């Protein structure tokens, strides 16, 4: 048993709810605050833990056992875990997988992630579904009283109003060359001229860039604070806006850039990028009660009437009426609650989706959207 499971750990919510369990991550006494959210995927815990969109959040996995297949560096979505805390029903003490390079507990310990198991996650998730997203504190410091922790949770920051994307963004411009390799699901023609895409990094998952490269794009990743002048200097064929954490309306610098560049370049936004793109065009967003997070979210594509099972991770949504007012039309609907899951502009080469077509983890029902973006760039390409 490589994992240190047994020390006490508490999750305390702002409404006074106290959940006790066992610590299996960070070994020293500590506390961490964040909005408490849940993911309904049966697997993909490693991708979720390293997804920058989870920055500032305490993540609950609803699957009954987590950690069975360990950790593999090839499946990382960023260099390290991004969550403020991690909660599961049962953490597997062994990893059975030929690709595994480390046990989950050991890996979380190495990265100082406060983690807790021995929790009735179904009851905890039902509580969040009933009362909405709650701020909380996960703590292994036994010197702290329950009352102190409740107060800390109440005083902590939620997602609303926070520009976390600028914190999650890379600081430097870089070129991305890695593709999907043997997992490539795209059918791009290697002989076709590759397209240059500037990707505004708001906390992007690495698998998104791999999909763009495999679809025939040369990706230049740039900080989310990049100016229109800096983008024009690259002379790209298109603009991509990534996923990321926090409130889309708080990311002012990116929104201002999109107001200018979306009128000049074919533009594609995913998740937070989709939301900011909508705001830049004049639409509005609102906060969901408890968000959509998991690899089994059903979406209906308006053009084909097909139902696509998608991977999602977001707590905000674009307002349908405001989209219509700014010349946009809905392309995808979330079937669980009828919220907007995708849109396009009626006259400009602009599109966005609320879900993750790259999945990781999740199904590849919507992977065609990367090729759709490529075709949109090719059809908009102006000869020199």
Burial grade of 155 (CB within 10 A; 0-12, 13-18, 19 or more): exposed
Burial grade of 210 (CB within 10 A; 0-12, 13-18, 19 or more): buried
Q: How far is it, in rounded angstroms, from Cα 59 to Cα 44?
A: 13
Q: How far is it, in rounded angstroms, from Cα 207 to Cα 380?
A: 26
> In this structure, what are the phi and psi dihedrals at residue 222, rounded to the nearest 5 degrees?
-130, 150
Q: Any catalytic annotation for residue 356?
A: yes
Q: How far is it, in rounded angstroms, from Cα 350 to Cα 347?
A: 8
User: Catalytic one among 31, 202, 271, 328?
Assistant: 271
For residue 35, the Cα-to-chain-centroid distance in whole angstroms is 14
Q: Any catalytic annotation for residue 358?
A: yes
Query: Is 119:91 a contact under the CB 8 Å cutoff?
Result: no
For residue 138, give the 3-state DSSP assignment.
strand
Q: How far is it, in rounded angstroms, from Cα 256 to Cα 233?
A: 18
For residue 19, give the 3-state DSSP assignment.
strand
Residues classed as catalytic? 271, 356, 358
């Amino acid at each position: 048993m490589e994992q240190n499971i047994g020390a006490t750990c508490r999750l305390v919510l702002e409404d006074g709810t106290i959940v006790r369990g066992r610590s299996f991550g960070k070994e020293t006494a500590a506390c961490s605050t964040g909005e408490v959210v849940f993911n309904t995927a049966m697997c993909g815990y490693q991708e979720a833990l390293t997804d920058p969109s989870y920055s500032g959040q305490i993540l609950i996995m609803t699957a009954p056992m987590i950690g069975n297949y360990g950790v593999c560096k090839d499946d990382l979505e960023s260099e390290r875990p991004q969550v403020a805390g991690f909660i599961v029903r049962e953490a597997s003490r062994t990893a059975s997988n030929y690709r595994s390079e480390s046990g989950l507990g050991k890996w979380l310990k190495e990265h100082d992630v406060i983690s807790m198991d021995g929790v009735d996650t179904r009851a905890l998730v039902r509580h969040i579904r009933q009362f909405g997203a709650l701020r909380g504190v996960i703590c292994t410091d036994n010197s702290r009283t329950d009352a102190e922790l409740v107060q800390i949770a109440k005083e902590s920051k939620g997602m609303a109003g926070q520009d976390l994307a600028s914190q999650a963004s890379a600081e430097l411009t870089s070129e991305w060359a890695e593709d999907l390799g043997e997992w490539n699901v795209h059918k791009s023609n290697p002989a076709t001229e590759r397209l240059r895409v500037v990707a505004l990094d708001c906390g992007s998952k690495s698998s998104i860039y791999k999909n763009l490269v495999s679809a025939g794009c040369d990706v230049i990743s740039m900080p989310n604070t990049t100016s229109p002048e800096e983008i024009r200097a690259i002379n790209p064929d298109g603009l991509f806006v990534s996923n990321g954490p926090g409130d889309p309306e708080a990311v002012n610098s990116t929104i201002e850039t999109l107001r200018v560049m979306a009128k000049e370049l074919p533009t594609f936004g995913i998740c937070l990028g989709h939301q900011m793109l909508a705001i830049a065009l004049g639409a509005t967003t609102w906060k969901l009660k408890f968000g959509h997070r998991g690899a089994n979210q059903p979406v209906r594509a308006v053009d084909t009437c097909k139902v696509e099972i998608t991977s999602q991770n977001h707590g905000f949504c674009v307002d349908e009426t405001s989209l219509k007012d700014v010349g946009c039309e809905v392309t995808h609907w979330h079937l669980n609650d009828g919220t907007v899951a995708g849109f396009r502009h009626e006259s400009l080469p602009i599109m966005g989706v609320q879900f993750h077509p790259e999945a990781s983890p999740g199904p590849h029902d919507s992977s065609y959207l990367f090729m759709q973006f490529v075709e949109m760039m090719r059809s908009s390409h102006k000869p020199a």
